[in-house]
Amino acid sequence: MFDMEACGDRIRSLRREKAMTQEALAERLNVSAYHFRRIENGKEGASIDLLIDIAEVFGVSLDYLILGRKNTGTALKKDLLDLAGKLRCMVEEL
């Protein structure tokens, strides 16, 4: 379920990691600082277009911004480990 407050917290954390002010990010996103503050405080939702822009600025997925899910790449990691194991076996057979 979408939690506007948690989404705002994630945006705030990302912004602070990049040492950006609310005003600077709002300007970059072409929205008012007031609107952006309300989004960060969970008082107002962001449009999907704005969420896409925020995700692009910080290099994160919409899934992370909206739901807090981190893409760990578990399936890919498992496939790579399996492949590495097979390659080791092939090298030993040589």
**CB-based burial label for 75 (10 Å; 0-12, 13-18, 19+):** exposed
Q: What is the CATH number of the domain that holds 33?
A: 1.10.260.40
Number of domains, the chain: 1
The CA angle 17-23-29, to the nearest 5 degrees, is 85
The CA angle 87-88-93, to the nearest 5 degrees, is 95
pLDDT at 94: 84
pTM of the model: 0.74
pLDDT at 80: 81
Confidence of residue 30 (pLDDT cuts 50, 70, 90): very high
- CA-to-CA distance for 22 and 11, rounded, in angstroms? 10
Is the pLDDT at 7 greater than 80? The verdict is yes
What integer best gives the mean pLDDT of the chain?
91
pLDDT at 66: 92
Rounded alpha-carbon distances, angstroms, from residue 71 to 21, 22, 30, 88, 94: 27, 26, 28, 28, 37
Query: Higher confidence at residue 68 or residue 1?
Result: 68
Cβ atoms of 63 and 71 closer than 8 Å: yes
Is the pLDDT at 23 greater than 70? The verdict is yes
Domain that holds residue 73: 4-93
Average pLDDT in the 1-15 region? Answer: 94
